[in-house]
Amino acid sequence: MNKKLLVKKAIESKDNAYVPYSNFHVGAAVMTEKGNIYTGCNIESAAYTPTICAERTAIFKAVSEGEKNIIAIAITGDSEYTYPCGVCRQVIREFGRNAKIYIVKSEKEYREYTIDDLLPHSFGPEDLTKGKRKEE
Ligand code: THU
Q: Tens digit of pLDDT for each residue in 66-108?
A: 999 999 999 999 999 999 999 999 999 999 999 999 999 999 9
Q: What residue spans of the chain are helical by DSSP H?
A: 3-13, 54-64, 86-95, 115-118
Measured in Å, residue 96 CA sits from the centre of ligand 1 at 19
Give the whole-angstrom CA distance, residue 15 versus residue 13. 5
Q: Which domain holds residue 67?
A: 3-130
Does 60 fall in a domain? yes
Measured in Å, residue 106 CA sits from the centre of ligand 1 at 18
Does 10 fall in a domain? yes
Q: Provide the domain count of the chain.
A: 1
pTM above 0.85?
yes
Indicate which CATH number applies to the domain containing 89.
Answer: 3.40.140.10
Q: Which residue has the least CA distance to atom 1 on ligand 1?
A: 53
- Known catalytic membership, residue 55: yes
Does 136 fall in a domain? no
Atom of ligand 1 at shortest range from CA of 17 = 12
Does 72 fall in a domain? yes
Does 80 fall in a domain? yes
